[in-house]
Structure 1
Amino acid sequence: MMNLNNKILITLLNLIFIYFSISSSFAQSNIRPIQMLVGFPPGQATDLIARVLAQQLSKEINRPVIVENKPGQGGSIALGILAKSPADGSVISFSALASYAINPHLYKSVPYDTFRDIAPVALVADIPVVLVANADFKPKTFTEFIAYVKANPDTVMYSSSGNGTVSHLGMQDLKKRAGLEMSHIPYQGSARAMADLVSGQVQVGMDSVSATKQLIDAKKLNILAAASLKRLPMFPDVPTISESGFPGFEVAAWVGVCAPVGTPMTERVRLNQAITKIVNSSEFNEKLKTIGAIPHPSSIEEFTKFIKSEYDRWGIIVKATGASVE
């Protein structure tokens, strides 16, 4: 009959075997979490979409995806970190238009090169932009707004979510095209900008549907026009700026996933396929609607070409408006 010491020894050996088997299994399954860098604070549209995507991507690839907020320089801090991260699929970014295509033209220096350091993975969504006004502001339509500002130069103030943001440059572009004279009041984020717009500290602003829709629905803001080329499904009766005398005018934020240059194409394709499946799902679409975003799936090749075209387009706008940020 086996004595007690032998039983204890066998039990210990079995436990050691189980431990090393589990450790080996974890190592082989590569379950180390993926870091998803987001260049904006929690609660903004980019962050909200990132968290929905991360949750569903974790399930799709059976690997934890953890959102890490790295705000600063209009999203460029996060891309700077991405550029210096290991190119092994363990770090990705979820960044917006400005980070990829505007900031390199706007700032004297950003800590990355959009094309040398960043490898596109997948476009995810568009975040439409609208022109809104304080509810008590006299002009109630876009045409009335243009006429009022021309008749009252330098009396109207417009808000933005920060220097160099889409909301800033979009208004700068409209000012230049329409020959308007208005004062720019930059804020740190959309929430503060909208608060002062509602209170009447500023009269107008161009910002995302995500930041404005609830205020529009509550009659706290009046929507004057959509900055998209086509009318928005959530505001089908609101004309676009493009159809209201400024053909081709378009301002829209978009968000997508990138990896460090050097990340294996097999890993980028795997992520693209998983993200595209998510973006096309009805569950993800419903969540985007609540944020005010529109799904925009793409292949790696399509996203690569899109970034290049946006980089060139916004470079022209930044130069034409004379905008710059130290």
Structure 2
Amino acid sequence: MAFKTDTLALPTLNRRHLLATAAAAAATGLSAGLATPALAQSWPAKPVTIVVPWPAGGPTDIGARPLAKLMQDALHQPFVIDNKGGSSGNIGAAMMLQAPADGHTLLLTSSATVVINPSLYKKMPFDPAKDLAPVTNVLRVPLVLVTHPSVPAADVKALLALIKAKPGEYIYASSGNGTPQHLTGDLFSDQIGVKMVHVPYKGSAPAIADLLAGHVPMMFDSLASIAPHIKSGKVKALAQTGARRSSLLPSVPTLAEAGLPGVETYAWYGLFAKAGTPPAVLQQINAEAVKAMKTPEFQQVLADTGSEFVGDTTANFATFVKAETEKWSRLVRQSGATID
């Protein structure tokens, strides 16, 4: 009987064990089921704001707006562009840094804000090297030396004659103090040995507007923003600052070809998150941004702006930003430019 009792008890114990195991498994499965979607939706879990610290319609928008749309379509969350211009990008960048470091507020800015301003401004509202996390480069384009059609110069040589005829009086506009456009103009002035009058604007768009109206005779600006006005004949393109001619302007020589090899500069526009954003989120933002940049739609943006594909890893972009900071800080010191 004892044997029978033991043999009867064993299945009862097994049933209890199996029930307990099943209950535990069910609880684990429920927990996993709840956790998996949360992990999968860690970013973006809500609308994403991309702060562009420049006025609407400028060259940064040219990359920011199509990138935002492509990422919105792919990720099924709104991606909103918020233009906050002023102080060469400092105002918008500082505002962006007030948001949590969760990847839902990003910064897409020209190089000026990140690699030039720290050596230009005596007081910065933030430290780009410490407060920003590089995600990826978005656009890199040469600048173009353009003039109003009324300027009686068909090439750089003729323009130099006009400038030298009025030393210290000839005006050039830029998108703001310390921007690549400003420093390229200053470098150009040094190369020709004649000082010019710099007129800074709060962004590329208002500077171009005054150039089109004939209020200023010339400026250096990103090919991305000035190309439509060159094509329409509203401005004349005399030279470009890249190492080689752009496929978008094959008939326009480089400044090196025009006899000024010391003036080679580019404007670039990069995507950043707030420092402290989890590495996994940074990697996801990077992957989605680069994926969007490889689409035919964005490739067309690159072709239309004379830009090259520059999407990269977060680590490589961080290395590039550091090198650019060193390069432009030298140019700032050389120019003697400073802003209180």
Quick one: which amino acid aligns to residue 318 of structure 2? T
Any residues of structure 2 matched to 1:70-149 within 5 Å, and which? 70-149=84-163
Conservation of the 8 A alpha-carbon contact between 2:49 and 2:81:
yes
Does the residue aligned with 1:47 lie in a helix, a strand or coil? Answer: helix
Quote the offset at 1:104 in angstroms.
1.1
Match of 2:265 in 1: 251
Structure 1: state its 5+ residue gaps.
Answer: 1-23
* Distance in 2 of aligned mates of 1:64 and 1:194: 31
Worse-superposed segment, 301-310 or 143-152: 143-152
Match of 1:51 in 2: 65
Match of 1:29 in 2: 41
Quote the offset at 1:181 in angstroms.
2.3
Quote the offset at 1:258 in angstroms.
1.0
Worse-superposed segment, 165-174 or 307-316: 165-174
The one of 294, 313, 316 aligned to 1:280: 294
The one-character-per-residue Cα deviations of 1:250-269 (angstroms, maximum 9, x if unpaired) are 22211111111111211111
Residues 185 and 78 (structure 1 numbering): CA distance in 2 closer, same or farther, change over 3 Å? closer
The one-character-per-residue Cα deviations of 1:195-254 (angstroms, maximum 9, x if unpaired) are 332343322111122332222222221111001122111101211113333325222211
Quick one: which amino acid aligns to residue 267 of structure 1? V
Residues 69 and 203 (structure 1 numbering): CA distance in 2 closer, same or farther, change over 3 Å? closer
Worse-superposed segment, 88-97 or 243-252: 243-252
TM-score (norm 1): 0.85
Does the residue aligned with 1:283 lie in a helix, a strand or coil? Answer: helix
Conservation of the 8 A alpha-carbon contact between 1:229 and 1:248:
no
Match of 2:197 in 1: 183
* Distance in 1 of aligned mates of 2:285 and 2:158: 47
Match of 2:174 in 1: 160
Any residues of structure 2 matched to 1:207-222 within 5 Å, and which? 207-222=221-236
- Alignment RMSD (CA, Å): 2.4
Conservation of the 8 A alpha-carbon contact between 2:86 and 2:202:
no
* Distance in 2 of aligned mates of 1:191 and 1:63: 29
Match of 1:223 in 2: 237
The one-character-per-residue Cα deviations of 1:57-102 (angstroms, maximum 9, x if unpaired) are 1233343322222222111122223334322222221111011111
Conservation of the 8 A alpha-carbon contact between 1:130 and 1:206:
yes
Is 1:238 matched up with 2:252? yes
Quick one: which amino acid aligns to residue 284 of structure 2? R
Does the residue aligned with 2:237 lie in a helix, a strand or coil? Answer: strand
Does the residue aligned with 2:82 lie in a helix, a strand or coil? Answer: strand
The one of 29, 41, 66 aligned to 2:55: 41
Does the residue aligned with 1:116 lie in a helix, a strand or coil? Answer: helix
* Distance in 2 of aligned mates of 1:58 and 1:154: 49
Conservation of the 8 A alpha-carbon contact between 1:35 and 1:91:
yes
* Distance in 1 of aligned mates of 2:185 and 2:323: 21
Does the residue aligned with 2:129 lie in a helix, a strand or coil? Answer: coil
Quote the offset at 1:315 in angstroms.
0.5
Any residues of structure 2 matched to 1:260-279 within 5 Å, and which? 260-279=274-293
Residues 236 and 28 (structure 1 numbering): CA distance in 2 closer, same or farther, change over 3 Å? closer
Residues 89 and 166 (structure 1 numbering): CA distance in 2 closer, same or farther, change over 3 Å? same
Residues 90 and 146 (structure 1 numbering): CA distance in 2 closer, same or farther, change over 3 Å? same
* Distance in 1 of aligned mates of 2:41 and 2:326: 41
Quick one: which amino acid aligns to residue 91 of structure 1? T
Worse-superposed segment, 198-207 or 96-105: 198-207
Quick one: which amino acid aligns to residue 277 of structure 1? K
The one of 49, 53, 61 aligned to 2:75: 61
Conservation of the 8 A alpha-carbon contact between 2:242 and 2:264:
yes
Quote the offset at 1:39 in angstroms.
0.6
Match of 1:17 in 2: none
Does the residue aligned with 2:257 lie in a helix, a strand or coil? Answer: helix
Residues 268 and 73 (structure 1 numbering): CA distance in 2 closer, same or farther, change over 3 Å? same
* Distance in 1 of aligned mates of 2:226 and 2:110: 18
Residues 146 and 318 (structure 1 numbering): CA distance in 2 closer, same or farther, change over 3 Å? same
Equivalenced residues, count: 305
Is 1:310 matched up with 2:324? yes
Match of 2:217 in 1: 203
* Distance in 2 of aligned mates of 1:290 and 1:264: 35
Identity of aligned residues (%): 34
Conservation of the 8 A alpha-carbon contact between 1:80 and 1:110:
no
Quick one: which amino acid aligns to residue 177 of structure 2? N
The one-character-per-residue Cα deviations of 1:284-325 (angstroms, maximum 9, x if unpaired) are 111344456443211112111111111111101111111122
Quote the offset at 1:28 in angstroms.
7.6
Structure 2: state its 5+ residue gaps.
Answer: 1-35
